[in-house]
């Protein structure tokens, strides 16, 4: 990494710049950000090891170099060595941070648990997990999780994770059957006009068969069983599938916008100290009009201990908004595809489209407008309580 090895920004004075670049390529010397200054002289960046390989090349092309800037860890350490008091203070500060990092500074509870966080924290404190506790005095995370689970009988799983100076407790509740009140007598009735395709009555009396046409509100499975004095109302249960027709108006534009990466990017490096970050490379350069940024943190460790220091890498990638033009057929298919997804999500998990018929199609203002009749096989039964016995 150039920042660790150290690098310099150099200006080439005199000689033949093109010959110099050819020689650098031949010797596999990595140069970057090669440009010409306003005065016409060549400028570039080069690592310290490669810089000391330049004199033979400079001699051949009759040029010399002038160092413009020095960057990287070696130069920073050299500056620190000239400021011994500051360096000693920095080392003392680092040592203090290391000592402080061996204590628990925060205990957090995560997870969608119905167990009150106070109760979880109380159980953790009974096991020695609390703020300002010394990490070496804590049992390992797996053992601690088992002990907490034993103290929380309503939890199905307890996880303990150590992150820096924080300990995160994740609790998952045990699954319990939902308390349901006793269901009263009910019928299954049609929620849509439909043609019945399948009837499965687990309880109750089916009143319709396959291929019957039913109207909205019509009883499909009756909750009344028996005749006369033996008649009684029960809870109807089962599934009734039917064909239902849905008419939809679809408007699909013939232009669409897509965001794509151009391949151009900028990288920045930060030194992380606790909750602060100090930029150490990647300065300059005009910002992109539109970009997407990703970050990666590399914490420093001593054996298994994570220090409150590290390196943060930030990569900013240029994004370009591209507008595509669709043909009428492509816009039509895109609109139909979206309409199918919306219809199936609305009609339930058991629904399937059996046919579709385009009733009307036209273009207006750069859009394709469709009126489509979909035939969908779906569940058509809904519950309706029996409030009174039928007359007679």
For residue 14, give the CATH number of its domain: 3.30.70.250
Q: In whole angstroms, what is the distance from residue 217 CA to residue 223 CA?
A: 15
Residue 214 maps to a domain: no
Question: What pLDDT score does 181 carry?
Answer: 47
User: Domain ends where: 138, 173, 208?
Assistant: 173
Residue 178 maps to a domain: no
Question: What pLDDT score does 304 carry?
Answer: 63
3-state secondary structure of 22: helix
Nearest of 313, 314, 301, 303 to residue 164 by alpha carbon:
301
Residue 386 maps to a domain: no
Residue 51 maps to a domain: yes
Does one domain contain both 305 and 344? no
Buried b (16+ CB within 10 A) or exposed e, 295-316: eeeeeeeeeeebbbbbbbbbeb
Lookup: tokens for 184: 């009263």
Question: What pLDDT score does 86 carry?
Answer: 66
Question: What pLDDT score does 356 carry?
Answer: 95
Nearest of 216, 220, 223 to residue 186 by alpha carbon:
223
Does one domain contain both 317 and 336? no
Does one domain contain both 334 and 317? no
Does one domain contain both 288 and 329? no
Question: What pLDDT score does 390 carry?
Answer: 47
| Total domains in the fold of the chain | 4
**How many CB atoms within 10 Å of residue 384?**
15
Cβ proximity of 168 and 161 under 8 Å: yes
List of the chain residues with pLDDT < 50: 181, 390-392
Residue 24 maps to a domain: yes
Q: In whole angstroms, what is the distance from residue 235 CA to residue 202 CA?
A: 10
Does one domain contain both 332 and 291? no
Residue with token string 């010397």:
29
Residue 200 maps to a domain: no
Does one domain contain both 348 and 360? yes
Give the containing element (helix H, strand E) for 310: strand 305-325
3-state secondary structure of 304: coil
* Sheet of strand 381-385, all strands in order from the earlier edge strand to the far edge: 205-206, 219-222, 186-190, 381-385
User: Domain ends where: 173, 198, 215?
Assistant: 173
Question: What pLDDT score does 391 carry?
Answer: 45
Q: What is the domain range of residue 342?
A: 249-255+325-377
pTM of this prediction?
Answer: 0.46
3-state secondary structure of 152: coil
User: Domain ends where: 156, 173, 190?
Assistant: 173
Query: Dihedral of the CA atoms 214, 218, 220, 226 (nearest 10)?
Result: -130
Residue 179 maps to a domain: no
Residue 146 maps to a domain: yes
| DSSP type of residue 31 | -
Alpha-carbon 39 to chain mean position = 49
Strands 224-225, 232-233: pairing is antiparallel
Does one domain contain both 308 and 345? no
Does one domain contain both 70 and 136? no
């Amino acid at each position: 990494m150039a920042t660790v090895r150290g690098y310099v920004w150099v200006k080439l004075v005199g000689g033949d710049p093109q010959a110099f670049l050819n020689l650098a390529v031949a010797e596999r010397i990595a140069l970057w950000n090669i440009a010409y200054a306003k005065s016409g002289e060549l400028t570039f960046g080069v690592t310290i090891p490669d810089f000391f390989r330049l004199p033979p090349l400079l001699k051949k092309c009759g040029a010399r170099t002038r160092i413009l800037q020095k960057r990287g860890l070696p130069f920073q350490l050299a500056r620190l060595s000239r400021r011994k008091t500051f360096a000693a203070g920095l080392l003392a500060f680092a040592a203090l941070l290391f000592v402080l990092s061996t204590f628990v500074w925060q205990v957090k509870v995560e997870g969608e648990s119905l167990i009150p966080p106070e109760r979880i924290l109380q159980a953790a404190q009974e096991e020695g997990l609390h703020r300002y506790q010394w990490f070496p005095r804590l049992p390992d995370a797996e053992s601690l999780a088992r002990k907490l689970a034993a103290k929380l009988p309503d939890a199905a799983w307890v996880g303990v994770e150590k992150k820096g100076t924080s300990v995160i407790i994740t609790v998952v509740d045990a699954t319990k059957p939902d308390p349901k009140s006793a269901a009263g007598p009910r019928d299954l009735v049609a929620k849509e006009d439909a043609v019945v395709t399948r009837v499965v009555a687990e309880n109750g009396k089916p009143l319709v068969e396959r291929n019957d046409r039913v109207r909205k509100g019509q009883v499909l499975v009756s909750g009344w069983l028996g005749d006369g004095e033996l008649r009684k109302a029960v809870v109807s249960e089962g599934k009734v599938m039917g064909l239902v027709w849905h008419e939809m108006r679809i408007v699909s534009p013939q232009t669409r916008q897509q965001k794509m990466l151009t391949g151009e990017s900028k990288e920045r490096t930060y030194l992380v100290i606790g909750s602060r970050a100090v930029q150490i490379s990647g300065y300059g350069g005009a910002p992109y009009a539109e970009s997407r940024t990703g970050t990666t943190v590399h914490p420093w460790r001593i054996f298994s201990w994570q220090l409150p220091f590290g390196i943060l890498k930030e990569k900013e990638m240029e994004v370009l908004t591209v507008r595509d033009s669709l043909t009428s057929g492509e816009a039509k298919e895109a609109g139909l595809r979206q309409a199918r997804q919306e219809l199936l999500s609305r009609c339930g998990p058991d629904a399937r489209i059996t046919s579709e018929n385009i009733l009307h199609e036209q273009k207006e203002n750069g859009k394709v407008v469709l009126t489509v009749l979909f035939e969908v096989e779906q569940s058509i039964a809904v519950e309706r309580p029996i409030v009174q016995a039928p007359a007679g």
